[in-house]
Structures are given as C-alpha cells and as structure tokens.
Amino acid sequence: MKLVRFMAPGNPTPACGIVINDEIAELEGDIFSDPARRRGRYPLSGVSLLPPCSPTKVVAIGLNYGDHARELGFPIPDEPIIFLKPPTTIVGPGEAIVYPRSSSQVDFEAELGVVIRDRISSIKPGEAYGHILGYTCANDVTARDLQKKDGQWTRAKSFDTFCPIGPWIEKDLDPGDLLVESYLNGERKQSSRTSQLIFKIDLLVSFISGIMTLFPGDLIITGTPAGIGPMQPGDEVEVRIEGIGTLKNRVIADFGLRISD
C-alpha cells in the first residue's frame, strides 16, 4: 500500500491518500489513520505530491555501507554514527534542490528512508518493525566541501531542500534486501542492496529510540552506498528503490545565480 500526501485541485489544504494504479483514493484522515475510511478519487497525474510525511526530525546514519566508508577514507564504525537534519531540509517529489552559494560541491546520496508509526522510546530491536509505518526513497544531499571543512556535519547536511523524500510511503515491504540506486541525468551512479547495511533497520530504530523519543512521521535515513558524486544546477537526480519507486528532483541555483570559484 502506497501512502501519499498531496494537494488536490481546488483544495487549499494537504490531503492524504492511497495510490491505486494511476489514481489516488483520498483518506478521511492522515497517513496514520484507518486506510479503509476513504473519500473521493483523483487521477495521480492531476495532483501535486507532497513529502509523504512531516517529521519532527530526520535522523541520518553515516557510513552504513562498508564501500562508502572506504571511498571517504573512514574506518568501519563499531556503533551507528548518527546525525540530524532539520525538518526544513524536507522537500517532496519534483521539488527543487537549491544549490547554496556557500558550497562548491553538492553531492547526492541515495538512501532508504524508514518512517516511524508510533511515539517510541527505548524499544528493543525485536519490537522495531511493529513501530514502522513504511519506507520511502530519500536523498541525503550533502555540501561535501563544507563537511570536510567543518569537521562536523551540521552545516553540510542542513541547507533547506537538502532532504528530498518520496514519492510515497510503501507500507507492505520487506526492507531486508532491496536494490538502492541513484541516477544523475539518467546515468546510474550508485547501485547496492540494503542487505549490505552494516547496521540493520531493527537495530537502528532501537539504537536511536534509546537516545531520543521518536514520534509518528519521524524519518530515519539509513546511509548511502558507494558512488556518491556531485550535482550541478540544472541536473536531474533520481533515487530508485526496489519495491518503492522513483524520487526525482532537479537542482537549481540559489536565486538563479551561482558564484563560481
């Protein structure tokens, strides 16, 4: 079941729905409500899709594929490395990634996103899957030059628009061995499988919930495989995940002007 948030024609407030073939069945409630309670239908092509959830925080995992740790020259971590991206980084499918003027290397990072269903704190790994709403595609956009310069990652990971997610949340999915890919202007750049994750999803949810309370709609992005690379204004970047779909975004310059170096 594919859960979406969208703007229906003539309705100024966001709605939630289920994608059924090329239509959206609008739900009476939000993405957490009973999916059997429905309103009208809209053609998928006639609505604007929104980010499929509104997290209070995005918890990201660094260096969770061994080949990516090696390409950056970092050792394989013995515990999950976590960092936060603010909710203001979130954009939906088709929205622009704005290339900040203070960076000259902005990279894509294709990642599986895990959407939390309940308010949870200090849960065990064996309980994790019972508290997951579903899975989505995410792009952990990173100003790589600022990441290296700062020595910690907050600025590099936190620019507005630096976390595209979508196009929807797939509820019925085993995330254990999914193909994760990125494409830049149609050319494949990253290709790996979630079976290669160093720290698996149940362990990540448990680990993070032992640090901070997670709320419905909070998002965990699970790390990126090798093959990251830079984008330029005008580029189109796609994150494709098996069993979910394709998240597509275009990069634009800040205010239409890019100060070159």
Which residue ranges make up the site for Mg ion (CB under 5 A)? 109, 140, 224
Q: Which is nearer to Mg ion, 109 or 202 (CB)?
A: 109
List the one residue out of 182, 187, 189, 220 whose CA is nearest residue 202: 220
Q: How far apart are CA 208 and CA 199, in angstroms?
A: 12
Q: Exposed, middle or buried: residue 118 (CB in 10 Å: 0-12, 13-18, 19+)?
A: middle
Give the three-state DSSP class for 179: strand
Residue nearest to Mg ion (CB): 140
- Give the shortest CB-44-to-Mg ion separation in angstroms: 29
Q: Which is nearer to Mg ion, 28 or 71 (CB)?
A: 71
- Give the shortest CB-209-to-Mg ion separation in angstroms: 20
Q: Which is nearer to Mg ion, 26 or 109 (CB)?
A: 109
Q: Are 85 and 140 contacting, i.e. CB atoms less than 8 angstroms apart?
A: yes
- Give the shortest CB-179-to-Mg ion separation in angstroms: 18
- Give the shortest CB-198-to-Mg ion separation in angstroms: 13
Provide the residue count of the chain. 261
- Give the shortest CB-223-to-Mg ion separation in angstroms: 6
Give DSSP secondary structure letters for 125-178.
GGGGGGGEEEEEEEE--EEHHHHHHHSSSHHHH-STT-EEEEEEEE-S--GGG-
Q: Which is nearer to Mg ion, 18 or 59 (CB)?
A: 59
Amino acid identity, position 58: V
- Give the shortest CB-186-to-Mg ion separation in angstroms: 22
Q: Are 146 and 156 contacting, i.e. CB atoms less than 8 angstroms apart?
A: yes
Beta strands 163-170 and 132-139: pairing type?
antiparallel
Q: Which is nearer to Mg ion, 140 or 218 (CB)?
A: 140
Q: Which is nearer to Mg ion, 49 or 156 (CB)?
A: 156
